[in-house]
């Protein structure tokens, strides 16, 4: 049959429905709680699904897909929703990542880096055996030469850092960072690394996935705001 051109492969109806619902917390909430009329939801989804498929679809097919997807979604906790809706997203492109063995010499080198590049984008995370540095790619050559080749565990370039800045409430609200990461995993976006720094959640992805990752998170935040607004309207 030859090599399949993956770009030309169209998604199935259920895949298209899933993609649309993944970016809309209001519909997810309706499916999980069971208060949404599936036929009405199908009508709302129909234009977006047809755009993804490049053809028309029947309401009945959309309803069937929604029934199959219903168990996929769980209600977002109210405290998590409050954090999400008040978060913002920025993207830092052309980022590099370097992981080195945790030794006295490498710790000293990292300390010198912090002093030398205080005004630059530089994030550091530490485990029991390794230190990972995330930094502006234009600094790559200068950073790498500070370590011996046998000290370097991993080196990756052409990355992007998706920075989610949240209100201080995130520090004591479990589940927020996971909810951001879930939005990317649902879209099959590979996550290279994650870093939590005070109220910032930094998600590292490949440059080729940066646009999709940014859209996924901004859609998620916008959807959380709509869900909160609709809840206030219903209670009012």
| pLDDT tens string 13-48 | 999 998 888 878 778 878 887 888 999 999 999 999
Which secondary structure element, helix H or strand E, spans residue 197, and what is its range? strand 191-197
pTM of this structure:
0.72
| Phi-psi group of 90: left, alpha or beta (phi > 0 → left; psi -120 to 50 → alpha; rest → beta) | beta
Q: Give the pair of three-digit tokens for residue 21.
A: 């619902």
Residues 147 and 98 in one domain: yes
Print burial letters for 53-92: b (CB count within 10 Å at least 16), e (below 16): beeebeeeebbbbbeebbeebeebeeebbbbbbbbebeeb
Residues 115 and 216 in one domain: yes
Q: What percent of the chain has pLDDT over 70?
A: 92
Residues 89 and 197 in one domain: yes
Domains in the chain: how many in total? Answer: 2
pLDDT of residue 232 exceeding 90: no
Domain for residue 11, yes or no? yes
Overall residue count recorded for the chain in this entry: 236
Question: pLDDT tens, 82-100?
Answer: 999 999 999 999 999 999 9
Q: Which of 137, 40, 128, 124 is nearest to 93 (CA)?
A: 137
pLDDT of residue 168 exceeding 90: yes
Domain that holds residue 99: 83-220
Residues 213 and 101 in one domain: yes
């Amino acid at each position: 049959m030859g090599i399949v051109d993956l770009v030309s492969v169209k998604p199935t109806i259920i895949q298209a429905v899933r993609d649309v619902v993944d970016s809309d917390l209001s519909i997810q909430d309706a499916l999980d709680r069971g208060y949404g009329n599936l036929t009405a939801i199908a009508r709302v989804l129909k234009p977006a699904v047809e755009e993804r498929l490049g053809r028309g679809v029947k309401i009945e097919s959309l309803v069937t897909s929604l029934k199959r997807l219903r168990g996929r979604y769980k209600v977002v906790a109210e405290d998590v929703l409050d954090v999400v809706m008040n978060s913002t997203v920025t993207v830092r492109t052309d980022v590099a990542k370097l992981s080195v063995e945790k030794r006295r010499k490498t710790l000293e080198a990292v300390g010198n880096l912090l002093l030398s590049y205080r005004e630059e984008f530089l994030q550091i995370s530490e485990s029991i055996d390794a230190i990972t540095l995330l930094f502006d790619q234009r600094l790559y050559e200068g950073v790498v030469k500070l370590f011996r080749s046998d000290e370097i565990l991993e080196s990756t370039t052409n990355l992007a850092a998706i920075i989610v800045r949240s209100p201080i409430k995130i520090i004591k609200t479990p589940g927020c960072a996971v909810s951001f990461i879930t939005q990317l995993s649902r879209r099959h976006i590979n996550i290279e690394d994650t870093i939590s720094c005070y109220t910032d959640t930094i998600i590292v992805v490949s440059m080729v996935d940066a646009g999709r990752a940014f859209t996924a998170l901004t859609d998620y935040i916008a959807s959380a705001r709509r869900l909160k607004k609709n809840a206030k309207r219903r209670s009012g």
